[in-house]
């Protein structure tokens, strides 16, 4: 046979098998991320948002006037 034809034929077979593997992986990922996966993922997102907010609040500068008012009382 023609070596060029053999090369192209092998490339096409490899592309077909790889595309089938990718489709299988995508289907497995969709099944794994069911209702509980979405709930847990959403809860994780909320924890990350709360943590970043607490970090921002705790690192904010403290005004000396506000500290003086509390120390006098």
Q: pLDDT band at 14, cuts 50/70/90?
A: very high
Long-range contacts of 59-67, Cβ-Cβ distance < 8 Å, separation of 24 or more: none
User: pLDDT tens digits for 19-70?
Assistant: 999 888 887 766 666 777 778 778 888 888 888 888 877 776 666 555 555 5
- Residue 64 neighbours by CB distance under 10 Å: 7
- Residue 58 neighbours by CB distance under 10 Å: 7
Q: 37 to each of 26, 28, 33, 61, 66, how far by Cα in Å?
A: 15, 13, 5, 39, 45
Percentages helix, strand, coil for the chain, rounded to the nearest 5?
Answer: 85, 0, 15
pTM: 0.39
Domain boundary assignment for the chain: 1-32, 35-73
């Amino acid at each position: 046979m023609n070596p060029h034809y053999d090369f192209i034929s092998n490339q096409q077979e490899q592309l077909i098998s790889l595309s089938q593997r990718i489709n299988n992986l995508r289907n497995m990922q969709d099944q794994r991320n069911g209702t509980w996966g979405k709930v847990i993922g959403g809860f994780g997102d909320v924890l990350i948002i709360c943590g970043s907010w607490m970090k921002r609040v705790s690192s904010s500068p403290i005004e000396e006037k506000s500290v003086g008012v509390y120390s006098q009382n």
